[in-house]
Structure 1
Amino acid sequence: MLFSLSSSWCLAKNQPLAKVVPSVVAQTKATATFSEYLNQEKEHLTRAISEAKLFIPPKNEQEYKAKTEEVTSILKMTQIKINNFEGFLEQLNQEQSALGQRLKHLQQLPVVKEGLTVEERVAKVEALITINKENIQTINEDINLAKEFNTTLEDKINQLEFWYENYLLEQRLLTIKSTKAKLNQELAKLYREIPTTTSPDVKNKALQRKATAVVLPNNADYEARLLVNNQHIAIIQFQLNTLATEKKIIRADLMHLKNPDNKTLQVVTDLYKDALNQYAKIEKSLKQIDAILNNQTPAVKSLELKKSIHTLQLLINEHLQKISEHKQTVLQNLNDFQSQLKQMISSRQTLAEYNIGSWPIIMKKIAAIPGMLYKYVKILSLKVYDSYTWLTPVAVVFFWTVFGAISIAFFLLNRFLRSLRGNKERSRLAGYLYEGAIILIERNVIYLWATSILLFVFYITHISFANYQLVVKLIAVWFIFRIFILIARLVLLESITDASGKDVKLYYRLKWLLLLGGWTTSLMTIGNLLPLSPLLQDIFNRLFMLFMLTVSLVAWKSREVIRYLIWPLVTNKKKYIHNAVSILITLIPITIFSTAVIGLAGFINLAWTMSQYQANALIVLVAYILARGLLFDALELFSEWMISTLRNGWLWIEVFLKPVDRIIRTGLIIISCIILGKLYGLSTDSIIVVGLENVAKYPIVNIPGIHVTVASTIAFFILLASFIWAARWTREFCYRWLFRGTKDAGIRNSLSVFSQYAVVLVGSVVTLHVLGFDFSGMSMIIGGLAVGMGFGLRDFASNIVGGIMLLIERPVREGDLVTIGEHEGRVAHIGIRCMRVSSWDNMEVLIPNAETFNKPFTNWTHQDGIVRTVIPIKVSRADDPVIVQQLILDVLATTPEIVSDPPAQVFLKKIDAALVEFEARYFVDVQIHTRIEVQSKVLFAITEQFKAANIKPPIEPIAVELKEKNEVPARIAAPTK
């Protein structure tokens, strides 16, 4: 057809324009012939355009070249034809102008001239002008059709080029496949040729292994041969990995050829980055193998083995050169793809096409969309019907059997979901999610059934996914927005009752907004999958951005209302749910608003890219919150089970569940960051990662034996915090669980402290090594520090040793009442260097351990807390001692703070001329009461008893000395009452 069309065009090509146009103007028959020619060309062009749009791929490379030459020649002839038509048009326009001038001239002439009236001449010229206008219009249509045909031919050339590139890539894949098969055969051969040096008489495998173990250490040739064989196997494995990487790159190129859009470019860029990483790893491994072979070559004496090693090194160098070339090509293509991606993202679609003249065309194209959808559904239905009619009877029976099974399964699922629902009040996040999921599935069972049946019909009739892709995506859009509306109904109408009616208003506002969003999303999906004009696609994309802008404004305006309505659901929850709700209520509107504004400004690709990154961040955040909530509920249920079932459930919670909870939270944060980095495309060769690696490797301290970098410092602080927490946990774990069978609390505490110190010691060595301290190279420095400690830090070392001995011998424990030198109080803490004693004046006294260990001290509560108190009591000589003793005993017996065992005692200690002195002895549990407190209470009670019995205190004898000059002083004793 293309050759026939080109031959028909040669007619106009061989007719000079100077001869054709005068004949058209001079004679009506010639004019009619020219018009017929133009109409015939119009029909030929229309038919040629329809046939050119049908693409039949070539069968081989020769057919591709023939078709390419054919289309290229027709394209050149089409361009010549366009030039001829433009020449026709230019001369017809000139002739039209000349006819207009002639018409004006005839209208100014007399009525009769040279046998013809002016009216006849004017009518003839007007007829020629009308025919000329029709010819001009036809030529314009032919020019437009020729240009359209030219564009169609260019598209066909692009399709042929795409086919050829795809053909070349497939040929490369076939080459890779054959090369891979050869390498696998060689690999299997190498595995079979692993050398053995056992005796031929040894047949038993166990004896063979034993003989090999004896012979191998003394057989250098065997070891060298085995090394060469293993390295050859490794090289082939790396060659296979290289082929797999090349295959991945080819797949990426095929993806880009089929759909060179923004999303595909991002995927291709990520694949190219991954390929570069694979090439770098393979190159590093091959260089290591080459270094191993270089080191082993001098020890090899066999010429054959040296030759094999040399061959392997040549193979490695050849493979390294190929990898280097591949890396350069991949890097260049990656830079090109990144430039295209940046250009595509930064491109802005202006509003220049949206003018008054274009709106009728836009409305006409929009009105044609229902017809296109009807045609699409009709064609798809006919394909399904035709495929169904070609099914075998067995396939038809299988189809209706599966149809019935699916229907019964969904019916039973609906009954089962109804039985699961109950009026049980939920108090945990998992309960709310469980009930919400059941309700959503139950209310969409009929639609899920219809969707399943539809997909099964497409599957059984062998309809390709490209044919029903639009149907699947529209169903997905419908399901998504329906679920959003149902969630809004569950949250705002069925779960919360607000007296002010704000929940109802917000629900209907969201409902109509989501309905609008569903329509805009559907139009955008139709615009991307149906062959619509780019102008309509841009309109639908901007409508979706406008919907997102509306959603962001409504969400921002209603954020306080949403928080107020949702807050009753999370009143009894933990703090992380409150924080999560506050973050999401604020973050989601800002994210959507920024994306919508950028999209409405014309940066559609940038908006979609930003929305993808923002959606990834929000998805990871929501997933982290849900995972954290579910894990918290699981740990809470587990803790309740422990308390109700185990004997020491609270101990298990403190020792195991709380550390597990902290580890899980840290792990969730790390996993979330890793997933987010993967979604953002961070790899080892990305600019951010490379920059962070350079910063992390920056040396802070670099001296012999100490090499501290930024990364080692960060790792040091992380490990330090981990070991501090581990030391505390180890002490609690050992005291509460590991040594719980130890009866002596002092020994139990000492063992726990020693376990803590062991973790601290290990942590100190590990953290310092991670920080950059090389202990093997610091032996001289450590020896010097040891000598310095022996002289200058002798007291410090003595205190350390004293603290350790205190923990071992346990002469004092925390909580004991001690008197050390001039200090008395309760022991608050026993450290590795000093002891902290809380005095009675509420002061903390730090006493070095050496003072406690080397000098005597008093521990009032070493065995128990029973301490004796002695109070001297003096009365007058005139009082009866027996009565006084009984009164004091009565007071001591009625004081509740005084223990009964050992019993209190009152002794007569002294009798002189003026007074009688008693000594009251009693015992007090100082772990419950203080000695001063009880002594004060006893003295007050004795005073009351003495007043009641009229017992008065004694009057001490007074000595008066009179001194005179030159006289011996005389003493006058005061009389005693």
Structure 2
Amino acid sequence: MRQLLRQSNLNLSTTSFKYLWCFFLPLFLLFFSFSLFSASVKENNATLVEYLAHEKTHLTIAINEIKQKSAPKDEQEYNEKLRQIRTILSMNKAKIESLNSFSENQKKEEVNLNDQLKRLQQMPLANAEVTIQEKVGKIETLLTVNKKTTELIAETLDLAKQYQLLLNDVLNELKLWKANFDLKEKLKSIKAIRAKLNKELNILYENAVSSQDKKQPELTISEQIQYEANLYINNQRIAVIHQKLNALELQKKIIKTNILLLNNLDTKALQSAIDNYREVINQYSAIESSLQTILNSLTNQANLFVEPGLQKSVSLLQNDVKTELKETSNQKLILSKNLEDYQNQLKKQISTRQSLSEYNIDSWAVILNKLIDIPNLFYKYIKTLTIKVYDSYTWLDTFPAIFLWTVLIFILSLFYILNHVLKTLARDKERSRFTGYLYGGILVLLQRNIPHLCFFAMLSFILYFTSISYANSQLLIKLIIVWLTFRVLILIARLILLESISDSSGKDVKLYYRLKWLLLFGGWTTALMTFSHLLPLSILLQDIFNRLFMLFMLTVSLVAWKSKDVIPYLIRPLLKSKKRYFKNAISLLVILVPITLFTTAIIGLIGFVNLAWTMSRYQAYILLVLVGYILVRGLIFDALELFSEWMISSLKNGWLWIEVFLKPIDKILRIVLFLTSVLILFQLFGWYSDSLVVTSLEKVVQYSILNITGIHITVASIIEFLILLAVLVWAAKWTREFCFRWLYKNTKDVGIRHSLSVFTQYAIILLGTFITLHVLGLDFSGMSMILGGLAVGMGFGLRDFASNIVGGIMLLIERPVREGDLITIGEYEGQVAHIGIRSMRVSSWDNTQVLIPNAETFNKPFTNWTHQDGIIRTVIPIKVSRADDPVMIQQLILDVLAIIPEIVPDPPAQVFLKKIDTALIEFEARYFINIQNHNRVEVRSKVLFAITAQFKAAGIQPPIEPITVELKESSSVSLKKQTTEE
């Protein structure tokens, strides 16, 4: 690939060639005469000085003329100019060698004159004193003339070398023009071939349509075969032509890529070319695969054709496909080689270090002059662009001119109205969400940049309407974009640090002014860098401006790192406590941005500018994707928050929809957003399907971890298994609640609703288990014997577990007990908290959770106190003295039971006389309470307290139990005495 980087033109007039031929011949004659007549030094020097002055003038004229640029019009003019330039180059090279030789002779003559002068000065003074002084004066005069001649030779030599460099540039530019010309001619030939192929394609389509129209309804078998064969061959030809057209499009794309590389061979252009070459190679592979399919089809069908004409057509088509396959394979090889060369060039450019050796004392004067000349260059550019716009405007007719002014007035009016609308919308309002802050910030930025945006819109329309090419106006457009960008950054800093936050310590004001001056410096640096890359400035100035921009990045990184703790503190009032993701993102950015900028700036300042630009591009990709992820995540969060508020206020089971629907959707959107961000990064980094990174990931994903009979587990299957397992866990968690609350809400019996919900949950778990295991790599058809063995083992070893499972299913079907029932199983009593597939959880009165296997409910009897309803009878024994009136006692107890609110009136409370003893009377109080609303122990205690208070008020004393005394003697003779005290 040519190493020429810019495209320029050549303008050589015939007058300049005449001048060159005029001074080359006298120069050689002069050198020849100087060698023959060296004795006449003074005369020769005078003649030489006159000639060198004349030569210097001619070289200056030639240099100025060659700078006037004009490209060849055709190939013939190119060949003529190429011949002339090569001739002038060889002659100018000979002149430079002659001037170098003559400069050496002048130095030797100067040495000789100095020696003569030294000898004359060392001679003793005598009668010939006047003669010696005259000789010394003549030698000094000759030395002065020799010095001036040497200086003039050096100046002429510098001009000749500069002219030589310009001639080499012109020669290179001619070669570049020739390369562009050849590529464009190739494009023309491709267009001609494409037109020819399209013509053939249309003919084939017409043949196919006409053959179908002429098809007779009744044909013999041989005629039908003949018709189908012709139709098949015609279709295959159409397919081959389509592939040829695709190949031509790829060649056209490659030629355009090569043209871009001829104009610019920087890292960005090389990366773009590498991406294009990879894409074209992949498309060539697809074309090769399609052609191979067509060839295989033709080979298989060729044996079926008997007619010689059909066989000949198939053979010709096969040869054509083989030729195209060979051409495609050759193109792939060439493109692969070029791709490898471009990759090596890109690596070389990135790893090239620009040293500081050119920045010496002599070069600073040149650099200063070029810096001073930048405003003049910009003025000339603006003047030239203005003249082009004015000339284009003067050529407009009346109606286009009126249309231009009408559109400009419309744009001005539109932005004026937009300014008032934005002022109304951007008034101070209370904002609580991230979307509100983002919306308000965008409105303020637009409103404060309305005049500048209006000017940019009007200027863009003028340039477009006057047909000014983008190549001529891109410098102005890019400078305006740079100005608007840094203005917006300063406005954002002002809005955040001055107008939205008030910090008593003054950190916000200090940080704002620090950022303001830093961004102003960055704006000027970026503008100069853009100016140096788009105008023909020297490589030295481009390197200076690149390093200035790297210095700006270094300063930004240091300021950002110094303020990494200040920034989150200052924007804390803008953040809500629930926006945790936003806080984490800010904390990540304030650390990540300074580090990336610092490393890039240091690498660029060291001299690896191309590497720094490449790194900065990829770092910018990462930061842009990260910021985009944060913004989109904030918008999604606010949208879901608004949706959840609407659900709670509008739907009956809004909280259920939030738990079942919105929260999983939020997690899914997070995963999708993350994967989309990774995919965008892959595309920006150029990691396509054929890249090393993607192929390595594919190998890792397809790596086989376990591969035995009926089990094949890979990394990809594990990832899929984990994803499905997460879905299954979510479904198993919320299916039961969702079915109970919404799906079976019309079922009146709560127990049936509960059973159906549980069965649905178990069905989802069972189905999901089989699916996830199948995705993991377990082939159940190949594992039938293993599963049978496991079933037998479960039948023997897991018998109790299986019986509990069956018991759980039977509990759900028969429903002898439900969640919330009060039961007594053996020594355990409490409320049923949960009925699972293996066990039942009972919450006892001691607030302990008792797990009872389901098989226990079938093997042992149990009591369900609330199977039908929650009304339970409580019996309290009450003993009084026999001296008390039983009827009065009964009435007192009934009065107490009647005033207790927890006791239900139906069935009514009862008091029975249970037993009459010699000393006591025993009553039995029976009442009913709703166990679902009240606690039996609490109600019993309340009843007893009330009865005690009632007895005390009625003067009834507590009964005294009879006492039994038993005496035992050593002789085991016992004497019993019973005493009863009234």
TM-score (norm 2): 0.89
CA distance in 2, matches of 1:618, 1:436: 20
* Mapped partners of 1:765, 1:29: distance in 2: 112
Residue 349 of structure 1 is matched in structure 2 by: 354
Following superposition, the deviation at residue 245 of structure 1 comes to 3.3
- Give 1:361-760 correspondences, 5 Å limit: 361-571=366-576, 574-760=579-765
- Equivalent residue, structure 1, for 2:4: none
| 1:698-847 map, 5 Å | 698-790=703-795, 792-847=797-852
Q: Percent same amino acid at aligned positions?
A: 57
From 326, 329, 332, the equivalent of 1:324 is: 329
Q: CA deviation at 1:26?
A: 0.9
Aligned to 1:71: 85
| Paired amino acid for 1:598 | I
Q: Is the 8 A contact 2:705 2:714 kept in 1?
A: yes
> Does 2:33 match 1:50?
no
Distance in 1 of aligned mates of 2:967 and 2:129: 185
What is the 5 A alignment of 1:14-25? 14-15=28-29, 17=31, 19-21=33-35, 23=37
> Residues 828 and 172 (structure 1 numbering): CA distance in 2 closer, same or farther, change over 3 Å?
farther
Distance 2:883 2:606 in 1: 113
**How far apart are 1:182 and its partner, in Å?**
4.6
Distance 1:733 1:312 in 2: 65
Compared with structure 1, are the counterparts of its residues 852 and 916 closer, same or farther at alpha carbon in structure 2 (3 Å cutoff)?
same
User: Relative to 1, partners in 2 of residues 1:230 and 1:574: Cα closer, same or farther, differing over 3 Å?
Assistant: farther
- Give the structure 2 partner of residue 86 of structure 1: 100
Matched, 1:166 2:180: yes
Determine whether 1:952 maps to 2:958.
yes
Give the distance between the partners of 2:243 and 2:319, measured in 1 at CA.
Answer: 15
Following superposition, the deviation at residue 702 of structure 1 comes to 0.8
Tell whether the 8 Å contact from 2:879 to 2:923 is kept in structure 1 after alignment: yes
- Residue from 147, 153, 168 that aligns with 2:167: 153
Shift of 1:200: 6.5
Q: What is the Cα deviation at residue 238 of structure 1?
A: 4.4
Contact kept in structure 2, 1:503 and 1:565, CA below 8 Å: yes
Amino acid in the other structure paired with 1:681: G
Counterpart of 2:474, as a letter, is Q
* Aligned counterparts of 2:970 and 2:734: Cα–Cα separation in 1: 82
In the TM superposition, what is the alpha-carbon distance from 1:291 to its structure 2 partner?
A: 6.5
Distance 1:642 1:626 in 2: 24
After superposition, give the CA deviation of every residue in 1:265-313 in whole Å (9 maximum; x if it has no partner). Answer: 2222222233333344444555566677778888999998888777766
Cα distance in 1 between the residues matched to 2:241 and 2:930: 83
**Partners in 2 of 1:725 and 1:847 — Cα distance?**
27
Segment drifting more, 413-422 vs 45-54: 45-54
Question: 2:927 aligns to what?
Answer: 922
How far apart are 1:849 and its partner, in Å? 3.1
SS at match of 1:117: helix
1:129 to 143, 156, 176: 143
Q: Give, in whole Å, the separation in 2 of the partners of 1:855 and 1:194.
A: 86
Query: CA–CA distance in 2 between the matches of 1:658 and 1:195?
Result: 62
Which residue type is aligned with residue 449 of structure 2? N
Q: Which shows bigger deviation, 373-382 or 914-923?
A: 914-923
Is 1:38 matched with 2:52? yes
- What does residue 262 of structure 1 align with? 267
Deviations 1:688-732 (A, max 9, x none): 222222222221101122111122212211221122223334334
For the 8 Å contact 1:955–1:976, the answer to whether it is kept is: no
CA contact (8 A) 2:494 2:512 kept: yes
Contact 1:195 1:225 in 2 (8 A): no
Q: Distance in 1 between matches of 2:967 and 2:229?
A: 117
Shift of 1:418: 2.4
Question: Quick one: structure 1 residues 85 and 784, their matched pair in 2 at CA, closer, same or farther if it must change by over 3 Å?
Answer: same
Q: Distance in 2 between matches of 1:304 and 1:100?
A: 100
* 1:877/1:954 contact within 8 Å kept: no
Structure 1 distance, partners of 2:860, 2:214, is: 77
Letter paired with 1:133:
K
The superposition leaves residues 430-476 of structure 1 with CA deviations (integer Å, 9 ceiling, x where unpaired) of 22222222222222222222222222222232222222222111111
Aligned residue pairs, count = 963
- Greater alpha carbon shift after TM alignment, 327-336 vs 842-851: 842-851
In structure 2, runs of 5+ residues without a counterpart are: 1-13
For the residue of structure 2 that corresponds to 1:368, the secondary structure is: helix
Separation (CA, whole Å) in 1 of partners of 2:316 and 2:780: 43
Please give the per-residue CA displacement for 1:147-182, whole angstroms capped at 9, x wherever unaligned: 222222222232222223223333343344344445
Number of the residue aligned with 1:206: none
The 1:104/1:961 distance shift into structure 2, 3 A limit, reads closer
Q: TM-score, normalised by structure 1?
A: 0.90
Moved more, 898-907 or 18-27: 18-27
Unmatched runs of 5 consecutive residues or more in structure 1:
204-210
Q: Using a 3 Å threshold, how does the CA distance of structure 1 residues 632 and 126 change in structure 2: closer, same or farther?
A: same
Deviation string for 1:776-797 (max 9, x for gaps)?
4334444444455455545444
Partner of 2:113: 99
1:888 is aligned to 893
Q: 1:897: which partner in 2?
A: 902
Deviations 1:810-839 (A, max 9, x none): 333333323334433332322233323333
Partner deviation per Cα, 1:371-410 (whole Å, 9 max, x = no partner): 2222222222222222222322333222222222222222
CA distance in 2, matches of 1:859, 1:768: 41
Distance 2:916 2:831 in 1: 39
- Does 1:867 pair with 2:881? no
> Residue 704 of structure 2 contacts residue 712 of structure 2 at CA under 8 Å; is this kept in 1?
yes
Q: CA, structure 1 residues 430+91, in 2 after alignment: closer, same or farther (shift >3 Å)?
A: same
| Contact persistence 2:962–2:980 (CA under 8 A) | no
Deviates more, 1:751-760 or 1:547-556: 751-760
Q: Please state if 1:117 is matched with 2:123.
A: no
Partners of 1:665 and 1:732 in 2: CA distance: 25
Question: What is the alpha-carbon distance in structure 2 between the residues aligned to residue 819 and residue 309 of structure 1?
Answer: 91
Q: Given the superposition, is the C-alpha separation of residues 701 and 651 from structure 1 closer, same or farther in structure 2, using an over 3 Å criterion?
A: closer
Distance 1:399 1:631 in 2: 43
Work out the CA distance in 1 between the residues paired with 2:301 and 2:817.
66
How far did 1:741 drift? 2.6
CA spacing shift, 1:739–1:313, aligned 2, 3 Å: farther
Secondary structure of residue in 1 paired with 2:713: strand
Which SS does the other structure have where 1:775 is aligned?
coil
Cα distance, 1:905–1:483 mapped onto 2, change above 3 Å:
same
Q: 1:235 to 1:849 in 2, by over 3 A?
A: farther
